[in-house]
Amino acid sequence: MGMSDYLENKDLDLWYGRSGPAMPTNTYVQLHTADPGETGTSAVHASFARVLVANNTTNWPAASGGVKQNGLKISFGTTAGLTGLANVTHVSIWDAASGGNCLDYGALDASLNPSDRLEVAFQPGALKISRT
């Protein structure tokens, strides 16, 4: 995943000049059908809303080896009875349920076809954020 321009600027402000943003209480994961771009607003998957993930050490355990992973399952719900859904190829992480600021974005290791699954979810450790 790549850091958005918004987060890159906040990170620089935090380390140089010591003025950073308040950490969000919650983060929100969003699915995309193609690269969402630096702002995270392109190719939003129309069938899935952003999912709230409390911004705590249970959901986002300490980073290790330069990688941060989800600690619990992040579920977008079931697709039972739905057909013809677009594949999910990218994901973004936000600081608000709608609008807000994109924090990170990136491609999935493999495309996800939601129409052949009963539940669309990232199992613990499956969503990885890195700066390398």
pLDDT at 132: 56
Closest CA to 111 of 85, 75, 87: 87
Listed residue (95, 117, 115, 114) closest to 105, CA to CA: 95
Residue 50's closest CA among 78, 27, 83, 69?
A: 27
What pLDDT digit, counting tens, does each position of 35-46 carry? 999 999 999 999
| Tens-place pLDDT, residues 73-95 | 999 998 887 888 999 999 999 99
Pick 132 or 4 by higher pLDDT: 4
For the chain, what is the domain count? 1
In the prediction, which pLDDT does 37 show? 93
Average pLDDT of the residues in 35-62: 95
Q: Which domain holds residue 47?
A: 2-130
Which string of DSSP letters, residue by residue, matches the chain?
A: -EE-HHHHHHHHHHHSSS--PPPPSEEEEEEESS--TTTT-SSB-TT---EEEE-STTTSPPPBTTEEE-SS-EEEEE-TT--SPPPEEEEEEESSSSSS-EEEEEEEEEEE-GGG-SEEEEPTT-SEEE--
pLDDT given for residue 93 in this prediction: 96
CA angle, 115 as apex, 109 and 118 as ends, to 5°? 90
- Sign of the CA dihedral 55, 57, 59, 65? positive
